[in-house]
Amino acid sequence: MRQALEARLVVVEEIRKVVEQEKLDKEESARRYFAEQQDLDGEGGLRVKATSLESGRKLEVA
């Protein structure tokens, strides 16, 4: 029984690592997207305004 529980724990830890990496990848992708939008804003392009739940940073789409 202990071996089965330890095996399950290993699987759960691996799943947690994968999910955390996916979250980090999505956050990085969002950061790059917003940075690109800010670059466009500086060039007279799209203006972006939204609120990041984590940082409270505000961006606007105009």
Q: Give the residue extent of every domain in the chain.
A: 1-62
Per-residue model confidence (pLDDT) at position 15: 96
Q: Which two tokens stand for residue 16?
A: 């947690």
Per-residue pLDDT, 4 = 94
- Token pair 């972006």 is found at 48
Say what the pLDDT of residue 32 is. 92
Structural contact between residues 19 and 27, judged by C-beta atoms closer than 8 angstroms:
no
> Do residues 53 and 26 touch, judged by C-beta distance below 8 A?
no
- Residue 39 has what pLDDT? 81
Strand partners, 51: 58
For the chain, which ranges sit under pLDDT 70?
43-62
Percentage of the residues of the chain whose pLDDT score is greater than 90: 55
Question: What local confidence, expressed as pLDDT, does residue 22 receive?
Answer: 96
Specify the pTM: 0.56
